[in-house]
Amino acid sequence: MFISQAVFQKHPLLGKMLSEMGRVLDSLEAVNIGRLVQRARRLDQTSLALERTSQELFPHPVRTRSISHSPV
- Asked if the structure places residue 67 within a domain, the reply is no
Distance CA 72, CA 65 (A): 21
- Asked if the structure places residue 65 within a domain, the reply is no
**Band of residue 11 on the pLDDT scale cut at 50, 70, 90:** confident
- Asked if the structure places residue 72 within a domain, the reply is no
Tell me the per-residue pLDDT of 13-54, one tens digit each, with 9 for 90 and over: 888 888 899 899 999 998 899 899 999 999 999 999 999 998
pLDDT score of 9 = 84
pLDDT score of 63 = 65
pLDDT score of 66 = 66
For residue 25, what are the contacts with CB-CB under 8 A and spacing of at least 6?
A: 1
- Asked if the structure places residue 28 within a domain, the reply is yes
Tell me the per-residue pLDDT of 52-68, one tens digit each, with 9 for 90 and over: 998 888 887 666 666 66
Distance CA 12, CA 5 (A): 10
- For the chain, what is the domain count? 1
Tell me the residue range of the domain where 24 lies: 5-57
Helix or strand or coil: residue 57? helix
- Asked if the structure places residue 70 within a domain, the reply is no
**SS3 labels along 1-50:** CCCCHHHHHHCHHHHHHHHHHHHHHHHHHHHHHHHHHHHHHHHHHHHHHH
- Asked if the structure places residue 71 within a domain, the reply is no
